[in-house]
Homo-oligomer: A and B are copies of this chain.
Amino acid sequence: MDGELPEPLVIAGRSFTSRLIVGTGKYDSYAQNAAAAEAAGAEIVTVAVRRVNLTDKSQPMLVDYLSPERFTFLPNTAGCYTGEDAVRTLRLAREAGGWNLVKLEVLSDPKTLYPDMIETLRALDMLIADGFEVMVYCSDDPVMARRAEEAGAAAIMPLGAPIGSGLGIQNPVNIRLIIEQAKVPVLIDAGVGTASDAAIAMELGCDAVLLNTAIAEAGDPIRMARAMKHAVIAGREAYLAGRMQKRRYADPSSPLAGLI
């Protein structure tokens, strides 16, 4: 049917129809957050365990607005700068909600929020030994992505650009190299600023897109959530359809050939 994407996204044995994962914790309210997740058609939401209220019943709780029955909660380690911090955070999350599928991010510094891949790989080993299924936020270095996959990552999540930058995918060559070598799903995580950025990620062959700021900080977050839903479907369909060949107009024997 129109707009339906036939192949499910499968991560760690779980199937999803939607290929757009959205965040929590940057919205004006949990109500707005829930409305955005609905408008995005998301089935998975990431949860910054350190920032979102998961346990204090005297305060508004995320689960009151986004039902864990309806959305797969994906706890993440935003704000963790060491492997130990990340492992501790995810153990707490598992105790709180029983979540075993998690997103690991071990950051290097608060300015760029880039992952420290050496700490990340160390934490990944610990988490896998502890029975977690781990989706891994990583740099766009294909070598590090391959190491993460070899260590047992359930999905590879390279950044397209710095978290919260909205700059779009900076290095499509690297993203494409990661996709071509990966046997687990590859998701763009970080850097998407507007709808076309999400479409481009999917056209490159990514299996899904994770974004947060692009929706939360849009002028109208609900409308942007809807835009992103369509953008991900558009990019996925275009990828599967197979785009037309580009035609070049400069004389092929010119010094410009291959340039434009």
Contact = CB atoms under 8 A, between A and B. Distances in A.
A256 to B, nearest CB: 5
A259 B203 CA distance: 10
Interface string A145-168: 011000000000000011011110
Interface residues of A, number: 85
A227 B238 contact: yes
Contact of A218 (B194, B219, B241): B241
Task: Give the residue among A114, A240, A243 with the most B Cβ atoms within 10 A.
Answer: A243
Contacts of A221: 241
A230 B224 contact: no
B177 A250 contact: yes
Given A2-B41, A162-B249, A171-B171, 5 more contacts: A166-B246, A205-B254, A228-B234, A231-B231, A243-B255
Contact of A250 (B180, B200, B239, B247): B180
Interface in A171-185: 171-174, 176-177, 180
Given A246-B258, A251-B180, A255-B239, A195 B199 contact: yes
Interface in A130-148: 139, 141-144, 146-147
A58 interface: no
A260 interface: yes
A170 B177 CA distance: 14
Interface of A: 2-3, 39, 41, 108-109, 111-112, 114-118, 121, 139, 141-144, 146-147, 161-162, 164-167, 170-174, 176-177, 180, 193-196, 198-200, 203-205, 213-214, 217-221, 223-224, 226-231, 233-251, 254-256, 258-260
Contacts of A199: 195-196, 199, 231, 234
Number of copies: 4
A218 B243 contact: yes
A260 B218 contact: no
A117 B142 contact: no
A39 B177 contact: no
26 contacts: A3-B230, A108-B146, A109-B143, A112-B142, A114-B142, A117-B117, A141-B144, A165-B247, A167-B173, A170-B173, A171-B174, A180-B250, A180-B254, A193-B244, A193-B246, A194-B203, A194-B243, A194-B244, A196-B199, A196-B200, A196-B235, A219-B241, A219-B242, A224-B238, A230-B234, A230-B237
